[in-house]
Structure 1
Amino acid sequence: MNSYQSALARHVELSGGQTAAAEKLGIRQATLSRYIAGRRWPGSVMARLIDDKSGGQVPFAIWQAESLKRYGISL
């Protein structure tokens, strides 16, 4: 599990479960589950929305760093 997935999982824990966290983030519970499991990766717009709606608990900067690694880009 990468750090973005860990941040999402922590947010779920603090929100009282996947259903509550998904409602707070404005996404389906199944989508959130796939993000946490690594079966799906959010796009940049969704990652910014998650950052905003999580109150910064799931930072866009972590998503950005993980995305660069995923696509083999080094700065």
Structure 2
Amino acid sequence: MMIVGIVALCVVLAVLAFLLPRLSRRPQNGTQRALGLGSRAGSKAPGPLGRLLSKPFSSGSRAVGRSGAAGRRTRGKLPF
């Protein structure tokens, strides 16, 4: 269920970054901040369980950052 949410969020963020590049920064940063909180909370578990619980949040944060950057980069390549 979390994977579907992250994918949907990445798609929305990529479209927003393509259409409104400047206005996409705040939603991207807010989402990455929220996923960072989840990652830090999951990493407090002991041992390998902590790495296992924090990994989906950190990879989701990385995916959100990449999709926003890709939308802005694509917009920058257009002639208008």
Question: What TM-score do you get using the length of structure 2 for normalisation?
Answer: 0.35
Going by fraction, where is helix more abundant, 1 or 2?
Answer: 2
Q: TM-score, normalised by structure 1?
A: 0.37
